Chains A and B, each alone.
Chain A
Amino acid sequence: MGKQEVFGENIRENIYHCIKCGLCIAHCPVYKEVLLEEATPRGKVQLSRHLSEGTLELSEDVKEAFFSTCLLCGSCVANCPSGVHGDHLFSGVRWRAAQRYGIDWKKKMMFQLLASRWKMSRSAWFGKWARKMFGGPWIESKLNAGALDVERIPPFNEKPFSETVAEVVKPEGETRGRVLYFHGCATNYLYGDIGQAVVDVLKKMGVEVIVPKDQSCCGLPIFMSGDRETSLRCIRDTLKIFAREDVDAVVVDCATCGAALKNEYAHLLRDLSQLGEEVTDEEIRAADLLAGKLKDVTVFIDEHKAWLPAMKADGNMLRVTYHDPCHLVKGQKISAQPRSVLKAIPGVEYVELPGASDCCGGGGSFQVEHAETSRKITKRKVDNIRETGAEVLTTCCPGCNLTISNHLDPAIRVLHPVQLLQQALKH
């Protein structure tokens, strides 16, 4: 590895604002389980400093520390009084680590799939077929996906969501607004119901929903694993389609996609540009434009509550609670709007979840590769949910949905808030 900067200048300067106060330690979900300094954000910031100054070799165990003891949940960033951006630092180190050590071939293959829409839909079809043919509880119970119980992973959608919906969905009455819908991979291949609910609800609100057919993966899981090069493809593809002036908002139903489009694209492009990569000013402008338009779908709905048709209760009360996805509450600072939407639904008895903004422990591939730590974190979340006595857990992230529902009592349903809204609007 030649002499290359680990971080761009802005980020490098940020390192020196870490005063080692250690307050971040109180918020790190991994540290709670592992209790070692390398698991603390502070520890990784100090290691980043050494890496940046050249006083520490990016050895295997350093690489391990940055991958196995961090969910990139952003809890430390949200709580650092000095404004140190641990997430940017740590993903930067992962990038240099990936360059030096390569990425696990299974993961690399996965990323190639995600980055190519065509390949992805073929694989999804194949996966669905394979599960039908060769799957079944007995086999699945033998399969290992880290902390995930394969049996309880939802089946692939019959068809990818994008194939079941028109490119432009017009509302029934007058058109009050116009949005682009970035549905992301999870909704497209696993949670088609959520996608349908988003479109239904927005349509009933009088909003025209554009669902571009050729949208790709947001690239964040790829980027967080250190494969910046592959993720750049996704970023450029997404910017081409979604950075548009002529819509009121770009809505997402996934907190991670939201964080990517709202925060990470602009940051990453600037960082790469400082490190000498070829990034055009136009691309950066597009990223900023997209960031300005991006809204989580619950935020959009909450801001236009007046557009919702009247809802009647059907007499039954449903006890509902809400889990704040890390990338929504910490990354985008959104926590009030999903709750506001839920409380507006008649028939919902809303109860606050203790530790609502504590990480679910999933972290995308983290739960597969670092199962033990992940399981411990998820257990705390599950215990808290049980304590509320809720019948439904809602959350705005399919990642959290996947992780939590995998470990939660099957009697407790896990839904996106729009799904409850969709049901209420049916009456």
Chain B
Amino acid sequence: MEKDSMVGELVRLVGRENVLSSDMHFKLYEYDASLIRSKPDCIVLPTSTEQVSKVVKFAHDHKIPVIARGAGTNLSGGSVTVRGGIAIVLTKMNQILDMDIENLRVVVEPGVITLDLKNVLAKHGYLYQPDPASEKVTTIGGNFAENSGGPHCLKYGVTSNHVLGVELVLYDGQVVQVGGRALDNPGYDLMGVLGGSEGTLGIVTQAVLRIMPKAEAVKTMLCIYNSIEDGGNTVTAIIGEGIIPATLEMMDNLTIKAVEEAYHVGFPTDAAAILIIELDGLKDGMERLTERILDICRQNNVREIRVAKDQAERDKIWAGRKGAFGAVGRLRPNYLVNDGTVPRTRLPETLAKVVEIGKKYNLPIANVFHAGDGNLHPLILFDERDKDELKRVHAAAMEIMKTCVEMGGTISGEHGIGVEKIEGMSLIFSASDIAAMKKVKAAFDPLNLFNPGKLLPETERAA
């Protein structure tokens, strides 16, 4: 379809002020937080479910690809229009529609920023548990599409464990309700497959979230180590003891240095690794649990332990952790963040391999990881203007993915497959597995209009 007539039609559907089609705008919406860039053919910012439905129906009638987009902080290229088409930006649909505390639910539009929601809930003494590091800028819709995690998912699960219902626009513009405020609705768990579907099955225009009362007590500890192995062994030992903390996060030396330079939160820049451990729940027995944890740390050669005395100290520790990705931008201009996940016990081994891979390809790698659930984020640092370096980066990334799979893990713990990891899908899925997933895609989106080119490889190669 002619771009001009497309724009004209979209203006008719959502209003002139909600359609963007200048060269400047194409450049503004061609990227996300990954290395991939590709321009959309048009950008719309709908303000209601009805508008989204109309735009999708229009796209369906003219076989134009569509992508739903929130804040565009996707790390795997999921928000980039690699096949052109219409970018449906949902930032203007940012209302909290219903704070249904009585039923422990909150209903929101997809453009609500996760931290904004949590701040509103906090005023009432309630929590929405998922806490991805990007929560101050990411939207609920984006979190759901990628099935974002965050440090607290060790104990509480990821986004799909907390989104219980959605209003969904299907490939032909039809609007359906999936799940809802009540649990256990009969039928297939479509909510289950929608979470983490990276925008390839439908567009969420409303979400029902599970909330819970704030925990009575929280204890945050910063443990400083002279070796990553000791830190990793501590993690294994804690879980092995039967203690499930709310979070278990680790950062290596390179990251610590970057974070200190950016935020000055007091992390020691000569430590090989730091471990952030947080317990939450009833205050009864928490002291005893804390002592047990500290014992385990000591048994594993911890150098120093700092227990946060108040909320301010706690916030500082977390500010350092949550800003880690961005901070490494000080070291080299670009990074590629891996997202492999391995069984917890194999984490130290995997990390040693990652260090080797860094040496092999002559690339600095900073490491941040959700040690408690074995999700590592090796940040490969480079300058994208150096084409040779870029090649080595991709090769290193592939090798890291392979390593994770060899350790009994998987290639993506929370950032999604997007474009970036499609090649890695054959490492973990057989041709039959991919065929089964394609059937799900076909059931939801027979015309392959929603975010084409993502998540599923085009051709099936056996593992």
Please indicate the chain B residues that have their CB under 8 angstroms from the CB of A271 in the complex: none
Total interface residues on B, CB under 8 Å, equals 40
Evaluate contact between B326 and A26: CB separation under 8 angstroms. Answer: no
Against A, the Cβ 8 Å flags (1 = close, 0 = not) of B33-57 are 1000000000001000000000000
Are B327 and A50 in contact (CB-based, < 8 A)?
no
CA distance A62 to B26 in the complex (A): 12
> When the two chains form their complex, are residues A22 and B329 in contact, meaning their CB atoms are under 8 A apart?
no
Interface string of B53-91 (1 = CB under 8 A from A): 000000000000000000111000000000000000101
A23 to B72, CA, bound (A): 11
B383 contacts across to A, CB distance below 8 A: 16
Chain B residues with CB below 8 A from A83, complex form:
262, 329-330
The complex places the Cα of A21 from the Cα of B328 at a distance, in Å, of 11
Whether B29 lies near A37 (C-beta < 8 A) is yes
List, in ascending order, chain A residues with CB within 8 A of B134's CB. Answer: 21-23
Q: Which of A37, A55, A82 contacts B326 (CB 8 A)?
A: A82
Pick out which of these stretches binds chain A: B17-25, B97-105, B147-155: B17-25
Q: Which of A17, A25, A50, A62 lies in contact with B333, CB distance below 8 A? A: A17
Return chain A residues, CB-CB under 8 Å to B32: 20
Given A19-B33, A56-B24; A26-B327 close (CB under 8 Å)? no
| Residues of A contacting B23 in the complex (Cβ-Cβ under 8 angstroms) | 56-57, 59
Binding site for A on B (CB under 8 A): 20, 22-25, 27-29, 31-33, 45, 71-73, 89, 91-92, 94, 111, 113, 115, 134, 136-137, 262-263, 323, 325-330, 333-335, 383-385
Q: Which residues of A contact B (CB under 8 A)?
A: 16-23, 25-26, 35-38, 43, 46-47, 50, 55-57, 59, 61-62, 65, 80-84
Asked if residues B115 and A21 are in contact (CB atoms below 8 Å), the reply is no
In the bound complex, residues from chain A placing their C-beta under 8 Å from that of B45 are 35-36
Q: Are A37 and B72 in contact (CB under 8 A)?
A: yes
Instruction: List B contacts of A37 (CB < 8 A).
Output: 25, 28-29, 72, 89
Contact A59 B330 (CB under 8 A): no
**Which of A26, A55, A61, A82 makes the CB contact (< 8 A) with B330?**
A82
> What chain A residues lie within 8 Å of B33 (beta carbons)?
19-22
Residues of A within 8 A of B111 (CB): 35
> Which 4 pairs, one residue from A and one from B, show the smallest C-beta to C-beta distance?
A82-B329, A81-B326, A26-B136, A22-B73
A16 surroundings in chain B (CB, below 8 A): 333-334, 383-385
Of the candidates B91, B92, B94, B137, the one having the most CB atoms from chain A within 10 angstroms of its own CB is: B137
Give the chain B neighbours of A82 by CB distance below 8 A. Answer: 262, 326-330
Report A-chain residues with C-beta under 8 Å of the C-beta of B71: 22, 25
- In the complex, what distance in Å separates the CA atom of A310 from the CA atom of B369? 54
B385 and A35 within 8 A (CB): no
For A23, the chain B residues whose CB sits under 8 A away are 134, 136-137, 323, 326
| Closest partner residue, chain B, to A23 (CB atom) | B326
Most buried by A among B25, B328, B333: B333
Q: Are A47 and B24 in contact (CB under 8 A)?
A: yes
A25-B137 in contact given A20-B33, A82-B330 (Cβ < 8 Å):
yes
Residues on the A chain within 8 Å of B327, using CB = 81-82
Which residue from chain B places its CB closest to the CB of A49 in the assembled complex? B27
Q: Please, which residues of chain B bring their CB within 8 A of the CB of A61?
A: 22, 24
In the complex, are the beta carbons of B329 and A46 less than 8 A apart? no
Is the Cβ of B329 less than 8 Å from the Cβ of A43? no
A81 near B263 with CB under 8 A, answer yes
Give chain A residues whose Cβ lies under 8 Å from the Cβ of B333.
16-17, 19
User: How far does the alpha carbon of A62 sit from the alpha carbon of B326 in the complex, in Å?
Assistant: 27
- Contact, CB under 8 Å: B24 / A80: no
Q: How far is the CA of A22 from the CA of B330 in the complex (A)?
A: 15
- CB-CB < 8 A to B136: which residues of A? 23, 26
Q: Are B28 and A20 in contact (CB under 8 A)?
A: no
10 of the cross-chain contacts (CB-CB < 8 Å) are A19-B334, A20-B73, A21-B325, A23-B137, A35-B94, A35-B111, A36-B91, A37-B29, A38-B28, A83-B330
- Partner of A22 from the list B20, B137, B334, B385 (CB cut-off 8 Å) is B137
Closest to A64 in B: B24
Q: Which residues of B contact A81 (CB under 8 A)?
A: 262-263, 323, 325-327, 329-330
Knowing A25-B137, A83-B262, say if A20 contacts B24 (CB, 8 Å).
no
Residues of B with C-beta under 8 A to A21: 33, 73, 134, 325-326, 329
